[in-house]
Structure 1
């Protein structure tokens, strides 16, 4: 006959098992209603892309009351930005930050925003980013890629030129082998400045600078530090020659899972994260120019007038091939706060 002690132990074991099942089922059930997003970017955890991803994650999870969960994959989930775009299209990824230069393979007009000296200052860029021109470009990016374009923000390319010898003027560009993104517009710009554009894979840039295969790159000063390139360059010329961009993209399959309210929330949070990231990027760039000076790197401020003059043939070529860019250009220039005054003040 079974003892009362054994029956009691068996009873408690059954109760415990039921509780475990209830908890497990509840956890699965609670998770089943959540939307999980994979957010990928190609850079390391010190980059602006990571700040944007972390900001988006924190705010969207809080404002959705945990109904939207975001996991960030910095620099590891895909082998290239082109692959990331294909992953988003297939729904393997949910959100990705992609350079305008890489998106050009899907939508060439994105390169308009990367014309040299298109934006005259950070203030001009911030105003123009809200313009009808940029909104039209974002819509057309979405149409061309089949993705949801959530917004646009600054990349670290184009703030200046880091090199193994000082650049004090446009004449110093001659003979310098410069690595830039292998994008036709970028190549035209730097050839016009007098550099010798030398193809080098991003992953080989450090070694290429170290061995002299290339002598310069066009990343901002902050990026020289976070990618450790400052170990193999000794000079930084502040030119602000281009305001290159990244586009925050979402998979249509993910977008379709969201309610209208969640879609609006995603757009709002993306805008907030982008505004913070852009402001942070400018702040870090200014901060690390000063850090570079203190650490003994040569920081120069060449006269940009000759660089702007050299850019004219780039404009002529690309305006000829893309006539609507001229209209866009005029609209963007009108929005420069540094050049506008009330009529009565003129």
Structure 2
């Protein structure tokens, strides 16, 4: 009987120690969560920055505080998107939100989704990105780069021409000098439309360049057009939507490998949940920017379906020069409803 009592006591004591240790470990996890940093180059309140914050909130909530994401906006952690990507590759940063064009040097296939006039609408683009084409490219980021993991796409709207005179057809583009991003693809797009692409000007120099008759306009999305106040000097905003280049939320593979696999799955799932949140915030921002621009004299020109088709057909030499190795993806995009 004494022996039985001793065994019961030993089992009870061991269980008590186990429960005590478990409670301490749980407390330690809650007291010392893993803190990861996310680099965002846009400022606080921008649609992608709001989505970053929502991503951080949901990750903390769904990991029960085990993973905390610190979002730093305004380029506080990296001067540009290239530096942010390098931070991820080195494992110094956990996440960043960048333009798809910034990921293209690591994943060549991304170039296929950036061609001018390839999408019929925003809905068409999202059907491509959320379908097999876009999801395969996200997976390709991890396979090709080895150090990066593609989590989801965010909206960045469409880029449109804005100029000093009305444009209703391709013929109206003839001779216009358009400030574009430093890209041969964009220069060739302008040339195919009869215009001349101009590089070497940053966004803050556009207004002065138009006033000094160096250029006749530029191209960008509505929020950038409005925030720069370019409606005051180039009041005609042409809704041609020549390019739709999405943003991508990416993660450091080195950092994810340090985490519990269950938390990694939560992070991947939560990222996809924030996509619709960001799309809605973008729509709100775009509508507000358009309203402000119109109130300040902007004249929005919506191309007719016939005119838009004319712009698309003018891109034949551009696709011939730049698109040959991506043609299977381009054709698949065109075949997507």
Give the alignment's TM-score, normalised by structure 1: 0.79
Q: Does 1:179 align with 2:179?
A: yes
Q: Does 1:209 align with 2:207?
A: yes
**C-alpha distance after superposition, 1:120-179 (max 9, x if no partner):** 122222221122222222222223332011122222452x12234443332332333323
- Report the equivalent of 1:104: 104
Distance 1:93 1:329 in 2: 33
Tell me, yes or no, if the aligned pair for 1:209 and 1:215 is still in contact at 8 Å: no
Change (3 A) 1:43 1:175: farther
- Report the equivalent of 1:235: 236
- How far apart are 1:184 and its partner, in Å? 3.0
Distance 1:65 1:271 in 2: 19
- Report the equivalent of 2:11: none
- Report the equivalent of 1:316: 320
- How far apart are 1:239 and its partner, in Å? 0.8
Change (3 A) 1:120 1:260: same
Q: Which moved more, 1:122-131 or 1:263-272?
A: 122-131
Matched residue SS, 2:248? strand
Tell me, yes or no, if the aligned pair for 1:200 and 1:208 is still in contact at 8 Å: no
Tell me, yes or no, if the aligned pair for 2:236 and 2:299 is still in contact at 8 Å: yes
How many pairs does the alignment contain?
305
Distance 1:207 1:186 in 2: 19
- Report the equivalent of 2:90: 90
Tell me, yes or no, if the aligned pair for 1:110 and 1:141 is still in contact at 8 Å: no
Distance 1:75 1:132 in 2: 33
Change (3 A) 1:164 1:94: farther
Tell me, yes or no, if the aligned pair for 1:111 and 1:185 is still in contact at 8 Å: no
Distance 1:124 1:267 in 2: 24
Matched residue SS, 1:96? strand
- Report the equivalent of 2:285: 284
Q: How does 1:209-288 map to 2 (within 5 A)?
A: 209-212=207-210, 213-230=214-231, 232-288=233-289
Distance 1:240 1:174 in 2: 18
- Report the equivalent of 2:72: 73
- Report the equivalent of 2:42: 43
Matched residue SS, 2:130? coil
Distance 1:82 1:229 in 2: 27
- Report the equivalent of 1:6: none
Q: How does 1:191-202 map to 2 (within 5 A)?
A: 191-200=191-200
Q: Does 1:54 align with 2:53?
A: yes
Distance 1:255 1:156 in 2: 30
- How far apart are 1:29 and its partner, in Å? 4.8
Matched residue SS, 1:87? helix
- How far apart are 1:32 and its partner, in Å? 6.3
Matched residue SS, 2:275? helix
Q: Which runs of 5+ in 1 are unaligned?
A: 1-25, 337-346
Change (3 A) 1:312 1:98: same
Change (3 A) 1:32 1:120: same
Tell me, yes or no, if the aligned pair for 2:177 and 2:197 is still in contact at 8 Å: yes
- Report the equivalent of 1:120: 120
**C-alpha distance after superposition, 1:203-253 (max 9, x if no partner):** x32223323344433221122224554455422111122211222110112
Q: CA RMSD in A?
A: 2.5
Distance 2:195 2:104 in 1: 23
- How far apart are 1:283 and its partner, in Å? 4.3
